[in-house]
Amino acid sequence: MDAKTREDAVRRLKSAAGHLNGIIRMLEEDRYCIDVIKQIQAVQAALNRVNEGILDSHLRTCVTTAIRDEDSAERERVLAEITEVFRYSNKP
């Protein structure tokens, strides 16, 4: 992963962690349920953006390199990883 992607991911994750702490406080203060749900959805969206950025970087670097490589076993391994990621992301 390139430095820019890593820095962006770390920044976004630190922000999400701060939001999570805020959600915990909201629950401790017995705040309105819908307000809590909206904050949880905002954190989920932030995590999805981090996930997309890391996946994009992986596709553009590791996967591209593996596909161009002559080692067919490595190509298959990397493609299986991508399939597994999508399979896992679609589980309830």
Cα torsion 83, 76, 6, 91 to 10°: value is: 10
- Let me know: does 52 contact 67? Beta carbons within 8 Å: no
Q: State the pTM of this model.
A: 0.81
Residue 82 has pLDDT above 70, yes or no: yes
- In the structure, what pLDDT confidence band is assigned to residue 92 with cuts at 50, 70 and 90? low
Residue 88 has pLDDT above 90, yes or no: no
Encode pLDDT of 31-64 as tens digits. 999 999 999 999 999 999 999 999 999 999 988 8
Q: What domains can you pick out in the chain, each with its CATH number?
A: 3-89 (1.20.58.1000)
- In the structure, what pLDDT confidence band is assigned to residue 91 with cuts at 50, 70 and 90? confident
